[in-house]
Amino acid sequence: MAKETKTETQENPRKAALTAGKWVFLMLAVLTIGEFTVAVIAPPWIFALWLAAIWKAFYVVKDYMHIGRAFGGEESH
């Protein structure tokens, strides 16, 4: 029987989570720059700004606040 080491079972999910976090951070940065640009150039486009803010809030809650873990069946440490 081959023993699994702790790094083999835990490193892949951790690496995947870090990669996803980096992509979400990049997306949030791009959206923030876009929001700022739209707010400066075309203030009447308030609806587009609200949509971008809601979209960003969704990703912050989903990926950085780990709401999915609160309602998931498995507990991980």
Q: Which residue has the tokens 């929001």?
A: 35
What pLDDT score does 16 carry?
83
pLDDT confidence of residue 18: 83
Instruction: Using the Cα atoms of residue 62, residue 63, residue 65 and residue 68 in order, give the sign of their dihedral.
Output: positive
For residue 32, the 8-state DSSP code is H
What number of CA atoms fall less than 13 Å from residue 24's CA on the CB side?
A: 17
Whether this prediction's pTM lies above 0.75 is answered by no
Query: Could you say which residues of the chain have pLDDT below 50?
Result: 8
pLDDT, position 62? 83
d(C-alpha 5, C-alpha 59), whole Å:
33
Return the pLDDT at 65.
81
- pLDDT given at position 4: 53
The pLDDT of residue 66:
73
What tokens does 23 get?
């992509």
Residue 52's pLDDT is: 92
Q: Are 56 and 28 in contact (CB under 8 A)?
A: yes
